[in-house]
Structure 1
Amino acid sequence: MRNRTTALVLVVILCFYLLLAVQRGVWLVATGKPVLVLFGVGVLMLPVVGAWFVVTEVRIGNASSRLGARLEAEGLWPTEEIPTRPSGRPDLKAADEIFEKRRAEVEAAPEDWRGWYRLSLAYNDARDRPRARKALRRAIELDRRHS
């Protein structure tokens, strides 16, 4: 619940910023000076990109929560944890067994979102965010395709 509250606060702050950007962009375009009009058009594009980003991230977050709840309800939530070093960082050499298990699960059933979701959890625990995101997006895509 805390993550959702944080995300909501950040979205509200971003929306406020985007509204200010729209206001400034309109003001720049209204000046009528060619250079300021071009700059104003550029400023007006920022809220469009920002809104797209917010909508995309919220959709991914909601889909991830929904899939996580389904995985847990099915009793398939992974119980093993990535070992950590004394510093708290993940011990990736010791985690190889978990990664291999998750990859084998995905290779055995490449069209099942569960394997991809569990792989994304392992990558996330190992702090490999780009791979975790890619696997999560694949899990969401597979769920949407088969639902």
Structure 2
Amino acid sequence: MCAALVVYFLVLGRTGITLIGTGTPVAVALGIGVLILPVVGVWAMAATLRAGFAHQRLARLAVEAGMELDVSQLPRTPSGRIERDAADALFDMVRAELEADPDNWQRWYRLARAYDYAGDRGRARETMRKAVAMQAESAT
């Protein structure tokens, strides 16, 4: 996927340079706009990869510490997702653990996972960012 994006960015870059090379004002403006897209794309891809690697590191550390959430016994819908009531109960349990130990990055990691299982991806990402920052701070 990343390789395909890199090729796409290169094609966009070449197209932007070609448009600028024509010298007409509209083509130059369009070329500059096209050149901005690969820059934004590379930034987004790098940020996504960086976050993914950080999340994988936290997952590995949580497993090593025995802190990964075990959802294997929770009831599932036919599509394989955890049933809403079970996910909500899991979330309540994990939130109570966090309230008892709010300075532990592993508790924040578990809360992020619980948000994800409950279907709240936005809060899951936000909470995972906090867990990553806390873990990095505790490692120094």
> TM-score band (shorter)?
0.7 to 0.9
Q: Residue 22 of structure 2 is aligned with which of 28, 31, 51? A: 31
Q: Secondary structure at 1:111's aligned position in 2?
A: coil
Q: Residue 68 of structure 1 is aligned with which of 59, 73, 82? A: 59
Partner of 2:91: 99
Shift of 1:126: 3.1
Superposed CA offset, 1:55-87 (max 9, x none): 111111111111111111111111135532345
Q: How many equivalent residue pairs?
A: 138
Q: Secondary structure at 2:71's aligned position in 1?
A: coil
1:140 correspondence with 2:132: yes
Partner of 2:82: 90
Contact 1:105/1:115, CA 8 A, preserved across alignment: yes
Q: Given residue 13 of structure 1, which amino acid in structure 2 is its aligned partner? A: A
57 and 87 in structure 1: CA distance in 2 versus 1, 3 angstrom threshold: closer
1:131 correspondence with 2:98: no
Contact 1:83/1:95, CA 8 A, preserved across alignment: no
Partner of 2:113: 121
Distance 1:111 1:138 in 2: 11
Distance 1:144 1:92 in 2: 32
Q: How does 1:51-66 map to 2 (within 5 A)?
A: 51-66=42-57
Partner of 2:38: 47
What is the TM-score of this pair, normalised by structure 2? 0.88
Shift of 1:94: 3.0
Q: Given residue 131 of structure 1, which amino acid in structure 2 is its aligned partner? A: R
What stretches of structure 2 of length at least 5 have no aligned partner?
none
Identity in percent: 41
Distance 1:75 1:122 in 2: 16
Q: Which shifted more, 77-86 or 97-106? A: 77-86
Q: Secondary structure at 1:75's aligned position in 2?
A: coil
55 and 87 in structure 1: CA distance in 2 versus 1, 3 angstrom threshold: closer
Contact 1:120/1:136, CA 8 A, preserved across alignment: yes
Q: Given residue 65 of structure 1, which amino acid in structure 2 is its aligned partner? A: Q
Contact 1:83/1:94, CA 8 A, preserved across alignment: yes
Q: Given residue 76 of structure 1, which amino acid in structure 2 is its aligned partner? A: M
